[in-house]
Amino acid sequence: MAVSMKGKDLVSIHDLSVEETWQILKTTEQMKLRWKSGERDRPLVGKTLGMIFAKPSTRTRVSFEVGVWQLGGYALYMGTGDLQLGRGETIYDTGSVLSRYLDGIMIRTFRHQDVVDLAAAASVPVINGLTDLLHPCQGLTDVYTVYEKLGRLAGVKLVYVGDGNNVAHSLMFAGAKTGMHVVVATPPGREPDPGIVQTARADAALTGARIDLTHNPLEAVEGADVIYTDTWTSMGQEAEREQRVRDLAPYQVNQALMRATGRPGTLFMHCLPAHRGEEVTDEVIDGPNSVVFDQAENRLHTQKAIMALVM
């Protein structure tokens, strides 16, 4: 596989070709194997990644910062208080200036359009570390983790249960690019964005993947290879918390839902942080089928692959 991705932005998994998606997954696999065996890849020696954080994060900051260092480069943390963005400088001016200093930019923020605008302004690769609409690094990590555990992606049934949020959107895109059967089970009124669903289904038509929506979690998980959930209340949604908990309570991943798959080996995944006792019970997240901490580790390896390929 020899697809050149140098200089490419990662704003959405939809923007990747099937070949580029697999290039990231196979590079992740190779980098992880080499790191575990003691080999050290250092393709970013002398390069700097600027990291813009409008939303704080444990996994995103640590995995990117450590990943850049492991690849021989330097990571520069920039909170909103460290930039003139908070004082009225435009995204265009910020992207144009940072491009003169940096070799790549990772941004984790609220408005998806800000990432789109930054990528348009910057002359260096821009990596979407999360927006309210999409979480592409997480989605790629997730399908890599499934591939690592099951040895395949084509035809794998992954059922996402909960709120139709940015993680659900990126799972649909990632599944569509890799031939998976992705089912999203949400309460009425909390479905994924219709435009994302339509686009993911168009991508799925090219690979034989399937994207299905339902309101019935018990029917959704029948025959599932993977059950996936996320926190019910994301950052910035705290005012809606009580209503969200009421709406989503029937969608908790517990032992009864895991048994409803009819398969003893169904994997459990969660992008973390988890609100134990809400979207998932301790019994499931700490159980033998849970791969959440392997999944969290794989953020490091997947993002290293992305940076090595685009920077």
Residue positions annotated with a catalytic role? 108, 135, 138, 230, 271, 299
Amino acid type, 249: A
Name the strand (E) or helix (H) holding 107.
strand 104-108
**Shortest CA distance to 163 belongs to which of 281, 245, 70, 238?**
245
Q: Are 140 and 134 in contact (CB under 8 A)?
A: no
What gap in Å lies between CA 266 and CA 284, rounded to an integer? 11
What gap in Å lies between CA 32 and CA 158, rounded to an integer? 23
63's tokens:
């995995």
Strand blocks (E) in 7-83: 48-53, 74-79
Sign, CA dihedral 63-69-72-74, equals positive
